[in-house]
Amino acid sequence: MTAVERVVPAGAAEVFAVLADGWSYGAWVVGNSHVRDVDPRWPEVGTRLHHRSGAWPVQVNDITVVRAVEKDRFLRLAARLWPLGQAEIALELHPAAGGTRVVLTEVVTDGPLKIVPDPVQAVLFKPRNTEALARLSDLVQGRGAARSH
């Protein structure tokens, strides 16, 4: 399992609002190059985000499914990227001085990447997930700034 965290200078409701906007995932999820469709009830359990991953011209169409959610607290997703595999991703929101501490964990659950040892997965995923949280933070702050004008 790979875990990273970041304090986002905003409340949990503001952070969760970005997570609840499936169309925003192309802006902050590293490797997600295009959101093709979002189920209307996203992020209810079982709803899907249809996305394209990779760099053009080598892109893969796939889906991410909501496995568990508690508004303003956490979101757990099953993200597919076949033929490489599937991962479970959890985003937990905790009150923190100066904002909300977001903890992102990722664990490969299926496919060829599952045989890669955990320390190697951490080396591969930690920089990507650290960048994803930086982008998420920027997006949350940008939305907050837009609302204040």
**pTM, to two decimals:** 0.91
The pLDDT tens digits for 44-75 are 999 999 998 877 777 888 899 999 999 999 99
Structural domain spans, the chain: 2-23+67-148
Supply the pLDDT for residue 3.
93
**Before 57, cis peptide (omega within 30)?**
yes
Range 2-23+67-148 classified under CATH 1.20.1250.20: no
Q: Going along the chain, which residue ranges are E strands?
A: 2-8, 32-38, 48-55, 58-70, 74-81, 85-96, 99-110
The answer to whether residue 119 scores a pLDDT higher than 70 is yes
